[in-house]
């Protein structure tokens, strides 16, 4: 975060460090906030826990969910058992991305004075919540940075963003069952149809007749989906020659 919040929100997924383990819980610090939290033993894992040390260790970093908060006392309870594997993976990825973005931000503007940086951060915080948002804006649409810093500073951010960010891309894949009809000219008909599909940017992988996997990659997920739909439309032009059935998305 560009300007750190005082406290997390109830239900927020946070990163914690286990500092001290007690018989009925553990005291933790929130890595992204200047505040401590308590992890009750009942929130460590599902089921009965005989020995808490079998589940957590001091110094261990974990992803947790805020389950209780008293802002007036700055008192927090967190839970490990209420976190799904996806939430854990997403949070760790989000944290690593944010630290990387903060490093790029600091590197780009390293020659500015402390006062200048503080002023820029204050202005940025009115438009963006995270450094990752700032770096993405510098990469995708640097006009969004107007009013937050000088043109020179914005150009430095754009330069470092262009050098360090790989363009996002999305890949979608669907399985199709494609059969040539009428026997004669089957192979040529399939070659012609699949050739048009490939010219539209969709790859075709043979998985054993009559099963094929169509894959499309695009910087936009909806556009990648549209590419698959277009390939289906292309195949429909061969009605009477081909039997085509979409069998669903490949997960």
Q: What are 190-201's pLDDT values in tens digits?
A: 899 999 999 999
Domains defined for the chain, CATH in brackets: 13-83 (2.40.50.140), 86-164 (1.10.150), 170-249 (3.30.70.1130)
Place of tokens 């009559």: 210
CB 84 within 8 A of CB 77: no
Q: Report the alpha-carbon distance of residue 47 to residue 157 in Å, rounded.
A: 50
Scored b (16 or more CB within 10 A) or e, 57-85 reads eeeeebbbbbbebeeeeeebbbbbeebee
For the whole model, what pTM was predicted? 0.68
Is the pLDDT assigned to residue 17 strictly greater than 90? yes
Is the pLDDT assigned to residue 184 strictly greater than 60? no
Query: In this predicted model, what pLDDT tens digit does every residue of 73-126 receive, in sequence order?
Result: 999 999 999 999 999 999 999 999 999 999 999 999 999 999 999 999 999 999
């Amino acid at each position: 975060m560009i300007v750190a919040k005082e406290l997390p929100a109830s239900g927020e997924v946070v990163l914690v460090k286990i500092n001290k383990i007690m018989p009925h819980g553990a005291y933790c610090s929130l890595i992204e906030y200047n505040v401590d939290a308590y992890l009750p033993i009942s929130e460590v894992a599902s089921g009965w826990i005989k020995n808490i040390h079998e589940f957590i260790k001091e110094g261990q970093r974990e992803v947790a969910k805020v389950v209780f908060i008293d802002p007036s006392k700055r008192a927090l309870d967190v839970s490990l058992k209420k976190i799904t594997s996806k939430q854990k993976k997403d949070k760790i990825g989000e944290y690593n991305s944010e630290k990387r973005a903060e490093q790029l931000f600091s590197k780009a503007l390293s020659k500015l004075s402390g006062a200048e940086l503080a002023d820029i951060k204050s202005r940025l915080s009115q438009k963006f919540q995270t450094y990752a948002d700032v770096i993405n804006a510098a990469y995708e649409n640097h006009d969004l940075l107007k009013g937050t810093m000088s043109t020179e500073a914005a150009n430095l951010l754009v330069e470092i963003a262009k050098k360090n960010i790989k363009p996002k891309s999305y890949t979608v894949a669907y399985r199709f069952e494609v059969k040539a009809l009428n026997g004669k000219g089957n192979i040529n008909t399939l070659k012609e149809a699949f050739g048009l599909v490939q010219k539209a940017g969709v790859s075709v992988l043979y998985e054993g007749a009559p099963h094929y996997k169509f894959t499309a990659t695009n910087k936009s997920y909806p556009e990648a989906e549209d590419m698959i739909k277009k390939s289906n439309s292309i195949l429909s032009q061969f009605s009477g020659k081909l039997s085509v059935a979409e069998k669903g998305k490949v997960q």
